[in-house]
Amino acid sequence: MTSSGASSSGASSSGASAADAAVPSIRDGWSAEQIRAAERPLLDAGVPLMRQAASALAAVVRDELSEPGGRVVLLAGSGNNGGDGLFAAAELCRDGVPVTIVPTGSRLHEAGLTAAVEAGAELDRAAAAHPARFVDSLGPAALIVDAMVGIGASEPGLRGAAHALATALLPRVTERDAQRLRVVAVDVPSGIGVDDGTAPDDGVLLPATVTVTFGAMKAGLLRSPAAALAGSVRLVDLGLSPHLSGDPLVRAR
């Protein structure tokens, strides 16, 4: 597994060799359906895609922590996106990084939650009920990991606890002073249109400092306005390229 640190706006790609063709291009954007189909043969073969994604995510989060002792706040949804975040939280805790898990769904990925809690992560189930109070408690060294909603979202936008927490966090995320909170998005910034790059009608989402996207570029990350909301996009190779079929939805120039 490799990770590219190039941003979507400045990456270069090469198709000069068969080896190059096996590496995902940050310039080609694929649909959620195409990516899920490409994952299927790997999952059927027992490839631990979620664990691989989580390890890459944890590495980026370590790099993004602004100072020693910085706390990671994981906003974890109920799907595989939350699972990626929870397994990453387990790795971070084992490395001595304090992590607080804030559930935004009615349930969490069971194996991921068990791994994270056993590794020492704190579980805060009250934050969603009192989002303003929770946000006020966050120091500037906190790093938000947005694992609320991934490519399984049926339409743009956030709902329930995810919407309430994002609404409370948004002023801190968009501030331009020392109190600004940074955000690492898992696969995509939660709430964007994964295929078309649209933003929620009410404008409630968390603009990312960094987006760690897995397997292949999501088309929405190359389309406006999501491209400007994703920050620096880092594409993690999970071996999907040979299994991607059809033409990408977007070919960025």
> Does residue 181 sit within a domain?
yes
Per the annotation, does 190 bind a ligand? Answer: yes
Per the annotation, does 152 bind a ligand? Answer: yes
Per the annotation, does 156 bind a ligand? Answer: yes
Domain harbouring 182, CATH code: 3.40.50.10260
pLDDT in tens, 110-128: 999 999 999 999 999 999 9
Per the annotation, does 146 bind a ligand? Answer: yes
**Selected residue with higher pLDDT from 99 and 11:** 99
Per the annotation, does 124 bind a ligand? Answer: no
> Does residue 139 sit within a domain?
yes
Segment among 110-119, 168-177, 235-244 with least mean pLDDT: 168-177
pTM for the whole structure? 0.90
Q: Find all residues with CB under 8 Å of 127, minimum gap 6, and list them.
A: 102, 134, 165
- Is pLDDT of 93 > 70? yes
> Does residue 250 sit within a domain?
no
- Is pLDDT of 13 > 70? no
> Does residue 28 sit within a domain?
no
Residue type, 63: D
Per the annotation, does 246 bind a ligand? Answer: no
Per the annotation, does 150 bind a ligand? Answer: yes
Per the annotation, does 187 bind a ligand? Answer: yes
Is the Cα dihedral 219, 231, 168, 83 positive or negative?
Answer: positive
Chain mean pLDDT for the chain: 89
The residue-averaged pLDDT of 186-209 equals 97
> Does residue 44 sit within a domain?
no
Cα-based distances in Å from 119 to 89, 137, 196: 8, 23, 38
pLDDT of residue 106: 87
Number of domains in the chain: 1
- Is pLDDT of 12 > 90? no
- Is pLDDT of 3 > 70? no
Q: Find all residues with CB under 8 Å of 138, minimum gap 6, and list them.
A: 71, 73, 172, 181
> Does residue 5 sit within a domain?
no
pLDDT in tens, 17-75: 334 445 667 789 999 999 999 999 999 999 999 999 999 999 999 999 967 668 999 99
> Does residue 232 sit within a domain?
yes
DSSP one-letter code for 101: E
d(CA 194, CA 244): 17
pLDDT of residue 160: 95
> Does residue 235 sit within a domain?
yes
Residue range(s) defining the domain that contains residue 104: 59-241
Per the annotation, does 153 bind a ligand? Answer: yes
Please, are residues 84 and 188 in contact by the beta-carbon 8 Å criterion? no
- Is pLDDT of 177 > 80? no
